[in-house]
Amino acid sequence: MGKKYSIVIIEDEPAATRYLTTLIGEYCPDFSVVGNAENGETGIQLVASLQPDLVISDIRMPVMDGIEVARRLTESYPDIPLIILSGYSDFEYARQVIHTSVVEYLLKPIAIQTLKDVLGRIKENLDITQRRKQWNYLRSLIRGNDPIPREPSCEYWLALVWLGGTKTLYGGSEESNVLQSQNKINGEGDGAQNLNGGGFPHSFILSGRKSQEYVILSEKESCSFNEHMQHLIEGVSEAPYYTIYCPQQAVKEAALYEQIKTMYAIVDRIVILGKKQIFHEPPSDFSYHSVPDGKVWLYLIQTGQVDNAQRELERILGIMEQEEWRLFEVRSYFNHLFSRLFTELSQPVNFLYPQFTYNFETILAESANYTELGKQLMALVEQLYVALNKSKSNSGMPPVFQEILRYLEGHYHQDVSLSVLAERFRISTSYITKLFKKYTGQTLMEYITYKRIARAVELFAVHPELSVKEVAALVGFEDQCYFSRVFKKITGKSPSEGGASS
């Protein structure tokens, strides 16, 4: 049996207190009377001392009546529900507490069934409140926020689930969530959910670093490891592919944060596009693959040979699929190619790079297999062709401007201004401004900002262990909060949604 909810009774008639205590003990097994007081003043003191889950108070008492008790509870303990005991003659008097913490009324003499019904309804609300508190506590634990330890603490079966091929990356809607579609989860804030069905009322799901990641915890005392695993598998059964990492040892609350950090590092290295996997231990062998030369594909893109570029991409993806490349390898490979592509393009289209790489991350997460990935990648490349064609009229840029762009490639993270460039390249600031407007459609600072965010997107993708503060500093932002605002303005998502570690 689970936890009993505690009750404090405030009643000036000892016989009535004994009678009510007996009824609760015999007919309401989910509750336990932990204290009683004969007037409202001592009752409030008892509530302060015991912090009960529920208060039951008579309405007419000496020293402090039930009306004042309700007002004091609402002011000092708004989360503690209150049941008022009253007779028929006190109904109008009792109406004074309508806007306080009173949740139910019991008429004297108390009927057994009425008491059971009232406490049954309150238990449902207390269960929800208790789960929400536990959910928030666990979320703080796995984020390393060091909440006040609970006594007694629990042990949990812990799992990290990575869902692939679903439209949940970076804050996807709950409706599109595969786990949500199983009707086993109710949303509970911050894009995470708690398991609520299938006979697992003591399991919780919390959001991971990205929306396709979930941390699942099941109380060891409430279910076996096999039951925990069965529920996990049922929850992801409709996902195109997934990776579950679920150690067979229960984890104590105090160790959750360090354990989940270790699990993040492992899962980052084992997800394979299109493959359903379950691990209980880290793989003993991380083999690495030969890397296909991407120069041909880049050349075909740069020269506008769309059909040939598509065939070359299919060849590259075929090698990856056959050799079962891990997702981080696929991401790293294409991010490297895209970085080279934007560096080598003759037109200054660097301002497209942040959105381009962000779209690639979305495609990588939402593709259920390599065929889908290939189609979406070529669609992304074709969007780049459109932008390149629009910029052809800007060809023939002056050599000095080409030198400026090359200079910014290596110095975008430094404090570069119009006056700095004017002095270095011996041209006027107004001429530099005109060059940027003509050939990039941006001001100097806009160009540098997009360059910085482009690099930040790449760093978050390749080095998910870096914090927002660290990436901000690497790309030239001194203020982390300002960096986060700019990042969201350009990419549409916050750094944490873009893969940054907390």
Q: Kindly report the three-state secondary structure assignment for every residue of 73-91.
A: HHHHCCCCCEEEEECHHHH
- Report DSSP state, residue 367: -
Which residues on neighbouring strands pair with residue 6, listed in sequence order? Answer: 32
**Confidence band for 64, pLDDT divided at 50, 70 and 90:** confident
What digits encode the pLDDT tens for the residues 402-429? 889 889 888 999 999 999 999 999 999 9
CB 31 within 8 A of CB 7: yes
Find the range with the poorest average confidence among 28-42, 240-254, 426-440, 453-467: 453-467
The residue assigned the tokens 């482009």 is 454
The residues of the chain that CATH labels 3.40.50.2300 are: 5-128
- Return the structure tokens found at 193: 């959910």
**Residue 389 confidence (pLDDT):** 66
- Return the structure tokens found at 422: 């004017």
Residue 100 has pLDDT above 90, yes or no: no
What digits encode the pLDDT tens for the residues 48-60? 999 999 999 888 7
The residues of the chain that CATH labels 1.10.10.60 are: 295-491
* 295-491 has CATH 1.10.10.60 classification: yes
Instruction: Please name the residue ranges forming H helices in 345-369.
Output: 353-366
CB 52 within 8 A of CB 35: yes
Other Cβ atoms within 10 Å of 352 Cβ, number: 20
Helix, strand, coil percentages (3-state) for the chain, rounded to 5, are 55, 15, 35
Mean of pLDDT values over 324-337: 91
**Residue 499 confidence (pLDDT):** 57
Q: Supply φ then ψ for residue 161, to 5 degrees.
A: -115, 130
**Confidence band for 392, pLDDT divided at 50, 70 and 90:** low
Residues near 399 by Cβ (< 8 Å), separated by ≥ 6?
A: none
Q: Where are the beta strands (DSSP E) in 339-450?
A: none
ω into residue 398 within 30 of 0, thus cis? no
Burial of residue 276 (number of CB atoms within 10 Å: 0-12, 13-18, 19+)? middle
**Residue 343 confidence (pLDDT):** 75
The CATH number given to 5-128 is 3.40.50.2300
**What are the Cα distances from residue 113, in Å, to 23, 117, 323?**
10, 6, 67
The CATH number given to 155-279 is 3.30.310
Query: What is the pLDDT of the chain when averaged over all its residues?
Result: 82
3 state SS of 461:
helix
CB 334 within 8 A of CB 280: no
The residue assigned the tokens 């979305």 is 362
Find the range with the poorest average confidence among 23-32, 162-171, 448-457: 162-171
**What are the Cα distances from residue 314, in Å, to 240, 308, 328, 366, 500?**
21, 10, 19, 18, 31
